[in-house]
Amino acid sequence: MTEPAAYQQAPVCPRHPDRVSYVSCQRCGRPVCPECQRPAAVGVQCVDCVRESARTTRMPRTQLGGRVTDGRPVVTLTIIGVCVAVWLLQQVSPSVTGDYAFVPAYGQAQPYRFLTAAFLHGPIFHIGFNMYALWVVGSYLEPLLGRMRFAALYFVCAIGGSVGSLLLATPSVDGRASWVTASVGASGAVFGLFGALLVLNRHLGRPTGGIWVILLINAAIGFAPGIAWQAHLGGFLTGVVCSLLLVATAGQSRRRWQLPLLAAVLVLVVAAAAVKYAGVAPQFLPA
């Protein structure tokens, strides 16, 4: 027997049983109190349905598998900010450059130099050109690749640049030789981004004419004292290899292999450095 309407129990919010609510979720139909209501295209939805929708809805992706963002190059801006902060520290404490620059002779005993050198710079025009180039190419590549893939590409290329300097250096105790000469700059990583940009734009059918001007300017800077053109070459080749792998795995079913493949490139780059050091006589490797 149905109870009279006057005695039917008032609807309450499932998440807050002490709150009566005559508003229902448009998706599940359950009562929803003001605290649990979320605006929807029509009416409101409860927080549980909103979470379930977010979990099951596929996030939009770029052509190369990156998650679509608002376009703000957060990783690029962060790297630029760190480089500028480190450059200012170099001006206050010049010893920072010597302690963290990449020197082939010291790389085995102090492997952190392979990466830290990418955040150090020489004169103001050096950091100025590098950060401008990073801003230009990073603002384009980061939204295309997604933040995580872009960051991985940048750091692998930075290390690849230092390894390029190592592989092309001849062991020597001569103070003017590349084996014991310090090199600094984000150029190796930036040249890696250049290489990646050329490959990716070719894959996407987009023009690359404008990037050649920046590429040539940075190539010319590579002949300045303390800046190794070998790092430019190493970074560039690393970026080309990484981007070829990203292109090969751009399909939706293969995107899960992109980050592992970039990690594999890093392993190969480190292995190349290890092989180089294995063939160097002990007198050329200070502790």
Provide the CB-side half-sphere exposure for 139 (13 A, CA).
7
Q: Say if residues 215 and 194 touch (Cβ distance below 8 Å).
A: yes
CA proximity to 101, closest of 150, 165, 195: 165
Catalytic hit among 21, 162, 183, 232: 232
Amino acid at 171: P
Q: Is 16 a catalytic residue?
A: no
95 is catalytic: no
What is the torsional sign of CA 210, 216, 219, 224?
negative
Helices (H), 187-226: 187-204, 211-221
Cα–Cα dist 95/91, whole Å: 9
205 φψ region: left (φ > 0), alpha (ψ -120 to 50), beta (else): left
Catalytic residues, by residue number, are 187, 232
